[in-house]
């Protein structure tokens, strides 16, 4: 059919089954927004900042498993969105971000609100396009969704000049995607799978190293079956929380810079690393030359560029994790779980020696207590999002995750301001779950304008502010490594968070006792509107354990044990 480029954008979104779009209009994208006004097939959520629109699309994608969609205008509209693109690229989140561009005749003239969007986005997207002819739009948009969701997921950017959105051309969305140079390899090599399973059967101290790719490939339940049948201990990365339930007897805990003593020691003592959908990130490995240095490595990943990039894989398997794990399960009968009994006992001893815990305080609220308490009160009923900082690590350490896609956080880029808009996206995707955002008094101010979005669109995100009057994680590093020189990290001058929430039409609570916290959380859940719970917590609490940057996993800074009275 003959329609305008703007109409093509709408038709493509409908054809892809998109039900929610996050965005912010402007001059260059106005033709598309005029068509949004006319349609009723999907819901548009107007955020109050373009960065928030992309973060919200990320949250939606993480919680739903679908491709998130954001729409923005040219110039500063696009540059505001770059942080979201980079965040999604680092964490392999499938997005299609559509931006307006100045008309073709003005490109390269330094026109009003012109920016080289495709040039800027090239390094932080899986792929990008500048569409110069409306007759290419159907193909480009279909390719964009395919590329975003297939292989290793990621963000795809489509930049459309304003005059192209006004052009009339033929729209045909029926043609299959045919990309000569992009054909993701999803099926693992059967011989390599067999060799890997033989290595597992011979190992004495094997260890599952579970990464976020398991969640991206919807492989959590197959991985749970594999772990249960082999009875091999498992550690999760920060991005993999919820792959195994917190009460799984074979789950040690999270590993890495702020992983548990048992998890990090297990990785240091293993003789065979079974890496599933993980990329050996520096926050996991610490000093590479010391990482699992006596172990063989099985590495399963959809992205061939990730395999042996940082740690040499003895058994490389390129393929979709879910497909490969299903193949591994076919060989599981050759493995004797009792072989690893001594190894499991060794790990239990590690955990008993230095358990993942914190020192309770009867007078002051410890931030870890808040996370655990939310888990006790809400558990599986809540989806958990965080901003970035100490609160993020405490949430990853202490929340009792029961399922995949329950956890959304900014891992690779570490984006402060991510949590609140991402939690709105999570709530949009999973309206039946309570959306909790753990945040800090630094992070929450970076996108607090989204209170207005949450009020207008009735997205009752509960923001729990662990308020220590500091940029907590930076302060922790300054305390430990900079002789307590707390340079520009004191946040003692703060807004009244209760009044701030109320000014936008939400609800606010100021909490100084455990009883007040319980009452505030209960009331916020019942009132079902966007909320700030400002929790005054211990100011100088540190996240422990901690592996100093560039240090070895087995050289951890540990929580000091309390002297017995």
247 Cβ contact list (under 8 Å, min separation 6) = 400
346 Cβ contact list (under 8 Å, min separation 6) = 205, 269
Contact 469, 490 (CB under 8 A): yes
DSSP characters over 47-91: -SSHHHHHHHHHHHHHHHSS-EEEEE-STHHHHHHHHHHHHHHHT
Please state at what angle helix 30-38 crosses helix 5-15, rounded to 10 degrees: 50
How many Cα atoms sit within 13 Å of 302 on the Cβ side? 25
DSSP characters over 105-129: GGTTTT-TT---HHHHHGGGSSEEE
Across-strand partners of 251? 234
Phi and psi angles of residue 535, each rounded to the nearest 5 degrees, phi first: -100, 115
* Residue 562 burial class via C-beta count within 10 angstroms: exposed 0-12, middle 13-18, buried 19 and up: exposed
Phi and psi angles of residue 159, each rounded to the nearest 5 degrees, phi first: -105, 125
Q: Which of 367, 379, 554 shows the shortest CA–CA distance to 469?
A: 367
Measured distance CA(261)–CA(546) in Å, rounded: 9
Contact 112, 138 (CB under 8 A): no
Alpha-carbon distances, residue 434 vs 332, 425, 438 (angstroms): 38, 12, 13
Q: How far is CA 379 from the centre of its chain?
A: 19
Q: Which of 26, 15, 110, 55 shows the shortest CA–CA distance to 413?
A: 55
Q: Which residues are catalytic?
A: 50, 112-113, 162, 473
Would you mind telling me the total number of residues written for the chain in this entry? 565
Q: Look up residue 514 and give its two tokens.
A: 């455990």
Residues 313, 314, 318, 324, Cα dihedral to 10°? -120
Q: How far is CA 11 from the centre of its chain?
A: 29
Give counts: helices (H), strands (E), the chain.
21, 20
Measured distance CA(158)–CA(72) in Å, rounded: 10
């Amino acid at each position: 059919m003959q329609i305008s480029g703007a109409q093509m954008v709408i038709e493509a979104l409908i054809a892809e089954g998109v039900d929610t779009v996050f965005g912010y209009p402007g001059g260059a994208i106005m033709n598309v927004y005029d068509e949004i006004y006319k349609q009723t097939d999907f819901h548009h959520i107007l955020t109050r900042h373009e960065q928030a629109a992309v973060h919200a699309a990320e949250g939606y994608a993480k919680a739903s498993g679908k491709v998130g969609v954001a729409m923005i205008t040219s110039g500063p509209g696009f540059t505001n969105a770059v942080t979201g693109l980079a965040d999604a690229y680092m964490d392999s989140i499938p997005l299609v971000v559509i931006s307006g561009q100045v008309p073709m005749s003005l490109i390269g003239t330094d026109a009003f609100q012109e920016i080289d969007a495709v040039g800027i986005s090239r390094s932080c997207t899986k792929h990008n396009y500048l569409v110069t002819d409306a007759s290419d739009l159907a193909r480009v948009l279909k390719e964009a969704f395919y590329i975003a969701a297939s292989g290793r997921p990621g963000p795809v950017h489509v930049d459309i000049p304003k005059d192209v959105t006004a052009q009339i051309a033929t729209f045909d969305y029926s043609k299959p995607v045919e990309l000569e140079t992009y054909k993701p390899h999803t099926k693992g090599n059967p011989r390599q799978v067999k060799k890997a399973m033989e290595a597992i059967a011979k190992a004495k101290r094997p260890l599952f190293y579970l990464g976020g790719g398991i969640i991206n490939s919807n492989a959590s339940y197959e991985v749970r079956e594999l772990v249960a049948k082999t009875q091999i201990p498992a550690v999760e990365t920060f991005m993999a929380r919820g792959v195994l339930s917190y009460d799984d007897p074979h789950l040690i805990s999270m590993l890495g810079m702020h992983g548990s003593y048992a998890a990090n020691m297990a990785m240091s003592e293993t003789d065979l690393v079974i890496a599933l959908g993980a990329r050996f990130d520096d926050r996991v490995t610490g000093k590479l030359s010391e990482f699992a240095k006596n172990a063989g490595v099985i590495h399963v990943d959809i992205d061939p560029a990730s395999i042996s990039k940082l740690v040499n894989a003895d058994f490389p398997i390129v393929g979709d994790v879910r497909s490969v794990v299903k193949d591994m399960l076919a060989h599981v009968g050759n493995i004797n779980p009792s072989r690893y009994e001594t190894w499991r006992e060794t790990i239990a001893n590690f955990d008993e020696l230095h358990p993942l815990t914190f020192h309770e305080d009867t007078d002051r609220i410890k931030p870890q207590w808040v996370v655990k308490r939310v888990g006790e009160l809400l558990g599986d009923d809540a989806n958990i999002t965080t901003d970035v900082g100490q609160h993020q690590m405490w949430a990853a350490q202490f929340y009792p995750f029961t399922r995949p896609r329950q956890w959304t956080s900014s891992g690779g880029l570490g984006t402060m301001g991510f949590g609140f808009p991402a939690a709105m996206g999570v709530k949009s995707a999973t309206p039946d779950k309570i959306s909790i955002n753990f945040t800090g008094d630094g992070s929450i101010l970076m996108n607090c304008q989204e209170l207005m979005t949450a009020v207008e669109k009735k997205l009752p995100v509960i923001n729990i502010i662990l308020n220590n009057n500091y940029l907590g994680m930076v302060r922790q590093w300054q305390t430990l490594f900079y002789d307590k020189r707390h340079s520009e990290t004191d946040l003692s001058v703060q807004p009244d968070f209760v009044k701030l929430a109320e000014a936008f039409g939400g609800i606010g609570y100021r909490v100084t006792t455990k009883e007040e916290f319980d009452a505030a959380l209960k009331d916020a859940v019942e009132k079902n509107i966007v909320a700030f719970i400002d929790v005054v917590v211990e100011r100088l609490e540190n996240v422990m354990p901690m592996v100093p940057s560039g240090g070895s996993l087995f050289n951890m800074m540990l929580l000091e044990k309390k002297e017995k009275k």
